[in-house]
Amino acid sequence: MAGASDIEALKSELLAAVDGAGDEAALEGLRVEALGKKGKISLMMRSLGQMSPEERQVMGPALNGLKDTIGEAITAKKAAMEDAALDARLATERADVSLPIRPEPRGKLHPVTQVMEELAVIFSDMGFTVAEGPDVEDDFHNFTALNFPEGHPARDTHDTFFMKPREDGSQMVLRTHTSPVQIRTMMSETPPIRIIAPGRVYRCDWDQTHTPMFHQVEGLVIDKGAHMGHLKGVLMDFLAAFFETDTVEARFRPHHFPFTEPSAEMDVKYSRVGEAVKIGEGDSWMEILGCGMVHPNVIKSCGLDPDEYQGFAWGMGVDRLAMLKYGAPDLRDYFANDTRWLAHYGFSPLLQANLATGLS
């Protein structure tokens, strides 16, 4: 018959075994061996029935104590094993979040994308918003509303890409400028309006300096009392910010566009520095953009009263701006999808343009 000394011996034996268990399976084996239906402690408990009441009074609590002690030891050991397993896993999965990302980023922003970001930053700072519209336009938004009369030769100078005629005989076009975006804004919003409209435009023309798709940004201000002085101020400030210079010397030459009156081309002084140019100093003039006061017919076409509202607008080539600032000389390279060219002329997507730390 089991006595108190047997219980002590079994307790030491089982505690040592629990302590030495190598894994959770071994621990579960020990639990069955000690506390299972046919386990050592259960068997000893079964012998309580054959004991005298005095013996039972001592052995009963002792065996219950043994059962609790071993049960608790197994639970504690199991928790310790789980903690150790978690610690080991955390150690192997440790990540230093202060390290630069791996693999090293290799994608670059196209210079045209970079310039568009810079334009958005500069003009937002002046209170403009960025407007967008469809690439496929109708004749009204691309031509008629812009004061191109039906059948007027100016429509031909745009080398328009026409879509297949529709049932009703009308024909959509690939927009030849981003002006239709401004027409849409004037028709859907009430002045004052201050927007820039950057985007793709299309003309059927392909040689060393022309691609059938290129990028344009136009700007538009519509307000009571807007005048050429405001136009000049906006454009001078823009050129100084974009070319990161304090000295912009410019002249306005009279010109003609159907959609502005008066119209002008703006020239800036420049000098050559290798592939790029330095704007604001030098002794040659370069044409940089076209501009003017919005023609009263255009204001009328958009449902506004030209006696109440005036406006000015301008347009320029984004690809050309990128070329002037960043120097990639051949326009065709811009659309060749050559990753070596992009690796050289591209920009880090992690260094977004902003006025505080610099545009580029």
Residue 160 beta carbon to ligand 2NL: minimum distance, rounded to whole angstroms: 15
Distance CA 248, CA 281 (A): 7
Stretch touching ligand 2NL by CB under 6 A, among 33-41, 50-58, 275-283, 314-322: 314-322
Comparing CB distances to ligand 2NL, the nearer of 82 and 287 is: 287
Residue 347 beta carbon to ligand 2NL: minimum distance, rounded to whole angstroms: 24
> What are phi and psi for residue 86, nearest 5 degrees?
-65, -45
> What are phi and psi for residue 250, nearest 5 degrees?
-135, 160
Distance CA 21, CA 78 (A): 10
Residue 219 beta carbon to ligand 2NL: minimum distance, rounded to whole angstroms: 8
Tell me whether strands 129-130 and 173-174 are parallel, antiparallel or unpaired: unpaired
Residues 6+ apart with CB under 8 A from 248: 236, 239, 240, 268, 279, 280
Comparing CB distances to ligand 2NL, the nearer of 114 and 185 is: 185
From the list 142, 160, 176, 182, which residue makes contact with ligand 2NL (rule: CB under 6 A)? 182
Residue 315 makes contact with ligand 2NL by CB under 6 A: yes
Residue 346 makes contact with ligand 2NL by CB under 6 A: no
Distance CA 249, CA 139 (A): 38
Residue 312 beta carbon to ligand 2NL: minimum distance, rounded to whole angstroms: 8
Residue 354 beta carbon to ligand 2NL: minimum distance, rounded to whole angstroms: 26
Token look-up 């506390």 returns 35
Closest CA to 301 of 171, 151, 128, 184: 184
Comparing CB distances to ligand 2NL, the nearer of 117 and 218 is: 218
Enumerate residues 7-26 that contact ligand 2NL by CB under 6 A. none
Enumerate residues 275-294 that contact ligand 2NL by CB under 6 A. 290-292, 294
Closest CA to 142 of 172, 187, 185: 172
Mark residues 150-179: x for contact with ligand 2NL by CB under 6 A, - for none: -----------------------------x
